[in-house]
Amino acid sequence: MKKLILSILVLVVSFQLSAQSKTGTVDTEFILSKMPELTKVQEDLKAYNEKLEGELKIKVDEYQAKVKDYQEKVASFTEPMKKTKQEEIITLENDIAKFRQNGSQLVQLEQNKLLQPLYQKIGKALEEVAKTESYTQVFTITTSGLAYIDPNYDLTKKVMTKLGIKIEEGK
């Protein structure tokens, strides 16, 4: 009898707990694409990319100058001088190759650094909306892989309103 009463009590409590749960969704990528601050991030990222390209050009120019100098003077070099010059050229080639490989990673890191404050801003607004409307869980649409979402539980527009972003009709 005790086990039956305990089972019923656990069942009632679990129903009450699940009834208190409210789940919603948000499309953070859509919100990010509509944020006016994104333009500044894109400009800063473009400037960073141009800076890296400038650094690469300096390395390539230095490499080309060393190669040209080597080709013009190779006949007058002693064997140890040839070897030293060749090693310098090979070192520059390796530096350029490494710089090219790391360039895309550096751009990605810079992009993440520049976007982080925007995602934090979205997160703060989402947290305020979720608390105000008693949501216990919110899934991100772009990465969740959800097959169906009831539009009534999508918080994207509410978060955009909280951030002061104008919502275009039909979106």
Which pLDDT band holds residue 148 (cuts at 50, 70, 90)? low
Tokens of 80: 């140890």
Total of domains in the chain: 1
More confident residue, 36 or 145: 36
As a residue count, the chain comes to 171
CATH of the domain at 129: 3.30.910
This prediction's pTM: 0.68
The mean pLDDT of 2-18, rounded to a whole number, is: 51
Within a domain: residue 134?
Answer: yes
Residue 5 lies in a domain: no
- Domain with 62 in it: 24-163
17 within domain boundaries? no
Determine, yes or no, domain membership for 103: yes
3-state DSSP call for residue 25? strand
Tell me the C-alpha distance between 103 and 94, whole Å. Answer: 14
Q: What is the pLDDT of residue 145?
A: 63
pLDDT of residue 147: 53
3-state secondary structure of 72: helix
pLDDT for 91 equals 95
Q: Which of 3-7, 19-23, 60-64 has the lowest mean pLDDT?
A: 3-7
Cα–Cα distance measured from residue 135 to residue 126, given in angstroms and rounded to the nearest whole number? 10
36, 167 in Cβ contact below 8 A? Answer: no
Q: pLDDT digit string (tens) for 37-74? A: 999 999 999 999 999 999 999 999 999 999 999 999 88
Q: Which residues pair with residue 154 across a beta bridge?
A: 25
pLDDT at 154: 82
Cα 43 from Cα 110, distance rounded (Å)? 12
Does any domain span residue 149?
A: yes
pLDDT digits (tens, 9 = 90+) for 97-128: 999 989 889 999 999 999 999 999 999 999 89
2: in domain: no
User: Does the structure show a pLDDT above 50 at 6?
Assistant: no
In a domain, 1, yes or no: no
Q: Please report the pLDDT score of residue 151 as a whole number.
A: 75
88 has a pLDDT exceeding 90: yes
Residue 67, C-beta contacts closer than 8 angstroms, at least 6 positions apart: 89
Predicted confidence band at 4 (pLDDT cuts at 50, 70, 90)? Answer: very low
- For residue 18, being part of any structural domain is answered with no
